[in-house]
Structure formats: structure tokens, C-alpha cells
Amino acid sequence: MKRIRYYFLVALLAACNDGDLLIETIDFDSIKNVQSCDSPINTTSTVFFKINSAEALILTLPSGTLKNEVDTLISTVPNQSQLTYRLFSEAVTNAYFCSAVPVTSPTVLDDIKAEAGEIIITTTTTDSITYSHKIELSGISFVTASDTRITDLRINDFGTLTTKTE
């Protein structure tokens, strides 16, 4: 009987969670609105984000990446571009990213930087003034602080940005 209690206690302790957040899925494909603090978005813009309630996906491109030229460009993560997944304590708005004075709420619960992947930017035009930049993510790999790889990524289509020649 003592052995049964011992094994039960060991099994119970082994099954306890230490309270770490488990992020199983990063899903931003249903969020179509790509935001930036620059208004209007232009070829010097470098930071773009998508917000999904208390989550944000933040893309930082090197300066000069967006060009008003028809082309396809590939930027590697993390060497050239950075992609960050951020989990907040409550719903976040663009004011969190764009305030001149840093906001204190909501707080960041987890901040995970992509360790590998590619950003593919396909630029097209319908006239000589307006350019459409479709941003796709390929092979993105996030690894948490507890060394857990997030494998269920639903973020292939980051979105489309529009710029105009000046």
C-alpha cells in the first residue's frame, strides 16, 4: 500500500505545471489589417504590426526595403529582418506602439523573437503612382525562453501595404 501511495505521489508531482505560459499556436492569418505608426505608409517605413486582441506580431524591416519598384525581395530572419510575437496581459491597441510617451499598460507577458525564416515582399503596381507590397512569411521558427519550438504557425500571409510615389 505504501508503494502505491508513493507512486501516486510521484506521478502527481510529475504532472504539476510550474505555471509557465504555453503558446501552442500563433494565428494571425485572419487579421488582415497591417498597421504602422507612419501615416501614410511610405518607403521609409520599417516597423509594421498586426494586433489580435492581447497578441501582436511585429515585423521590423531594414531601412529602404520597401521600394516603389516592381520586384520581389527576400529578407532573412533574423539576419536582415526581425519578427517578434508578443503576448500581453490584456488587449492592446496601436497606441501601445505609437505613443510618444511609453504606455505602462498592458504589460508584456512573453516576447518571442523568430530565430529563422524569410520575409518575401512582392511589389506590384496598377499605375505609376501606387505600389502594392504583399508581405509573406516563409519557414518562420519561434523558440520560447523555455526552449520550446512553436510549430503550429498560421502566419503565412502577413498582409499588403500600399505606398505612393511623391
- Over the stretch 96-151, which tens digit does the pLDDT of each residue have? 999 988 888 999 999 999 999 999 999 999 898 999 999 999 989 898 888 888 76
Nearest Cα to 92, choosing from 109, 103, 106, 102?
A: 106
Residue with the larger pLDDT of the pair 144 and 3: 144
Domain total of the chain: 1
Residue with the larger pLDDT of the pair 11 and 77: 77
* pTM of this structure: 0.82
Residue 160 DSSP class: E
**Is the residue at 72 inside a domain?**
yes
**Is the residue at 14 inside a domain?**
no
**Is the residue at 135 inside a domain?**
yes
| Lookup: cell for 33 | 489589417
**Is the residue at 7 inside a domain?**
no
**Is the residue at 16 inside a domain?**
no
- The pLDDT, as a whole number, for residue 151 is 62
**Is the residue at 155 inside a domain?**
yes
- The pLDDT, as a whole number, for residue 26 is 82
- The pLDDT, as a whole number, for residue 3 is 56
pLDDT grade, residue 82 (50/70/90)? very high
Structural domain including 30 reads: 21-164
**Is the residue at 13 inside a domain?**
no
- The pLDDT, as a whole number, for residue 147 is 82
Cβ pair 85, 148 in contact under 8 A:
no
* Beta bridge mates, 27: 154
Give yes or no for residue 2 having a pLDDT over 80: no
CB atoms within 10 A of CB 96: 18
**Is the residue at 126 inside a domain?**
yes
